Chains A and B, each alone.
Chain A
Amino acid sequence: MKRRFKLMLFVGIFIVLALVLSACKPTTTEAPSVETEAPAKTEEVTTAAEEPVTVTYWHTMSDPETAQLEKVVEAFEAENPNITIETTRYAYDDFKTAILTGLAGGSAPDTARMDIAWVPEFANEGALMQLDGVMPGFEEIAAKTFPGPLSTNNWQGHYYGLPQNTNTQVLLWNKADFEAAGISEPPATMEEFAEDACLLTKGEEQYGYALGGTYFWAPAPIFYAMGGKVVDDGITTADGYINGSESVAAFSMLKDLFDKGCISPNLLGGGIGTADGHATGLYAMIIDGPWMVDIYKGNYPDFEVNFAMIPTGPDGTTSSVVGGEDVVIFGDTEQSEGAMKWVSFLMSEKSQKMMAEVGVIPTLSNLIGDPSLPAYFDVFLKQLETAQARVPHPAWGDMDGAINNAFQRMLRGDQTVQEALDQAAAEINALINQ
């Protein structure tokens, strides 16, 4: 009898636990605070500023960056003793799912650093707080940043974030390969680039140029430098842009080099990656970002990394593609005041310089030429002056897919360059008009 009582007790406790656990499921039935109005907020502020608050910040930084971020947090907390910053790090591949789960379950962070290509998508879902006209000092900060990275925060005329850090792609050239082929310096124009790519090719033993894949990011620097455009500035049509003469010329050059065997076939899938291939001399030229310095430091400590600007197109100008991350505030935050202070601090010269120490490129244009920045930043900062952002549109992911597939079809010979890009234009127009 006693034993049975114990058993019942045990089962009972278990049930209570199970019920409590299931009750813990976040079911925030309270009306979500939609678009906090500016005047109402300032009133709250004066009272809220005295109480200690915690602002959460999610990011996907690397090991050295995360360690440096802790110092930035310390500096911020020293200036703002009432605000505690709670940082959480995610793997890039899990990040979108984590944010979505958080949003759906009412446990989204107050602030996050996210891929610049995601901002229009989340803004379109109504997840982000509008910053222009709401955040104190937004206009001053925005005016100091590079226009390309800043534009990635714009969705339907409003800004939903600030460019926390930026990057772009430049040319990496393997000096040993170039010397062996009797070429003394990296190509300055696209004609020289095409010529060098074939001079540096030796059958399957060495390729003049290699791309990481057919996704838009890979050919984007050459595409933009040759005057290519995906859509018009107002994002109303792709016709005459992605299939316009400049875009066709850019892809035709790549297709031609590929057919001649001067571009490695790895871009079709399942080959040797560009980072390894370049360091081992298999790929004489690749186009990549500032993180390559640290990747090579770890994997190929003896390899000498050489950067150069993207070769100029027919009109004599260079260009590239803007990458990086934006810092955003989520619309459901209850700590908007603290969150805005934290975002302002992340955008300050002090914080930007601290992060630059570990290879993160700042977005403040007045930091160009600052002696405290690593020397290899120069080429990236110079390239950023003309670099262009990808289309800021919630359907960008699908647009990227349309261009990716067009590139695949032309390389495989399924369609001519013009046919493939005409199809991409039709697909992108359908996405714009959705």
Chain B
Amino acid sequence: MSTISKRNLTQALTAFLFLLPGLVLFITFLLGPMIYSFRISFYDWNIVKPENSEWVGLANYARAFSNPIFRRAVINTLAYAIITVPGQMIIGLYVAVLLDQKIRGRAFFRVIYYLPVITSWVIVSLLFEYMFSGQAGLVNYILRDVFNIIPKNILWLADPILAFVPIDLLGIWKGVGWTAIIFLAGLQAIPKHLYEAAEVDGADGIAKFLHITIPLLRPTTVFLVVVLTIGALNAYISNLLITNGGDPLDLTHFILTLMYEATFKRLDFGYGSAISYILTVFVFVISVVQIRLLRQQVEI
């Protein structure tokens, strides 16, 4: 008895010792700063002399909600999620189904579709900005000179709505590979005998897809919706580089580009921290709602 508990204790101690470095790093570099920035969000924070910071209560939060630029940023961020999450999932599922077939060069295509995922956000953002340039861009060239669809060059990045075309397309293009890989894993987990049984019952390809593939992919779908939505709400680099964060007229901000501008350009750390925490709550609530709504019907 005593030897067993002693062994347990040693094991627990060993486990704890193994965890300790990670815990120390987690507390020092993640939890600590998070709590600290929560505190900053209630102050008119002075970054140089923090002791001179002034307690302002919820004023930073109130300022965000009453600011039309912030409200516009929330709408832009939500629109980005509504467009890019289904966009990535529909194309990702399509690609996953194709890559699940016994086609020649399957490994090659899997690599090709995954390549955008591992490329640098910065480089592809600059590339998309270049492609959508208003005067010498590839997209204008194709639309105007090759297909003659538009009479005049479109100034994509000078328009608060059209500026999201490259940003949204980039978000979808870059995410499809990862979504497809996750879907592919889901597809391969579906037992083959279900399809064989359906074939015996006379089901065609579309019927099999609708009645077997889609329902059995539900756990994968739930996972993807939640993770991709969190990713979309945290989108930042592409917007910062393509619109300079808000150009024109501060109408194209995402929540995070606004946070970046407030914090690091205007040195308004209190306001920036408040925006971060609003986003955190926002992401948390949306994730919980999504999981609740989508989990309900998993068992079919």
Contact = CB atoms under 8 A, between A and B. Distances in A.
B20 A269 contact: no
Q: Which of A264, A272, A409 has the most CB of B within 10 A?
A: A272
Q: Which of B52, B133, B135, B136 has the most CB of A within 10 A?
A: B135
Q: Which of A22, A122, A127 has the most CB of B within 10 A?
A: A22
Contacts of A176: none
Interface in B31-83: 46-50, 52
Contacts of B244: 269
A95 to B, nearest CB: 11
B250 A266 contact: no
A268 B135 CA distance: 12
A270 interface: yes
A127 B48 contact: yes
A125 interface: yes
B250 A126 contact: no
A121 B17 contact: no
Contacts of A125: 46-49, 267
B18 interface: yes
Nearest to A282: B135
Contacts of B133: 270-272
A8 B134 contact: no
B153 A8 contact: no
B264 interface: yes
A368 interface: no
A18 interface: yes
Nearest to B46: A125
Task: Determine the interface band of chain A, counting residues with CB < 8 A from chain B.
Answer: 35 or more
Given A268-B158, A269-B158, A270-B132, A11 B46 contact: no
A289 interface: no
Interface string A1-26: 00000011001101101110010010
A265 B266 contact: no
B168 interface: no
Nearest to A101: B47
Interface of B is mostly: loop
A204 B129 contact: no
A364 B47 CA distance: 34
Interface string A386-417: 00000000000110010001001100100000
A265 B155 contact: yes
Contacts of A11: 14, 17-18, 20-21
A14 to B, nearest CB: 5
Contacts of A97: 264
B293 interface: no
B256 interface: no
Given A272-B135, A409-B249, A104 B47 contact: yes
B48 A266 contact: no
A367 interface: no
Given A125-B46, A125-B47, A269 B248 contact: yes
Interface of A is mostly: helix
A183 interface: no
A341 interface: no
Interface in B124-152: 129, 132-137, 152
Given A25-B28, A265-B134, A268-B158, A121 B267 contact: yes
Contacts of B136: 272
Nearest to A25: B28
Contacts of A7: 14
B193 interface: no
A18 B25 contact: yes
Contacts of A409: 249
B247 interface: yes
B265 A397 contact: yes
Interface string A251-279: 00000000000001110111110000000
Interface string B74-117: 00000000000000000000000000000000000000000000
B14 A8 contact: yes
Contact of A270 (B24, B156, B249): B156
Contacts of A75: none
Interface of B: 14, 17-18, 20-21, 24-25, 28, 46-50, 52, 129, 132-137, 152-153, 155-158, 163, 243-244, 247-250, 264-267
Interface of A: 7-8, 11-12, 14-15, 17-19, 22, 25, 32, 96-97, 100, 103-104, 121-122, 125-127, 204, 214, 264-266, 268-272, 397-398, 401, 405, 408-409, 412
8 contacts: A8-B17, A11-B17, A11-B18, A18-B21, A104-B47, A265-B158, A271-B155, A272-B135
Smallest CB-CB A-B distances: 6 pairs: A270-B157, A268-B158, A269-B158, A125-B48, A271-B135, A270-B134
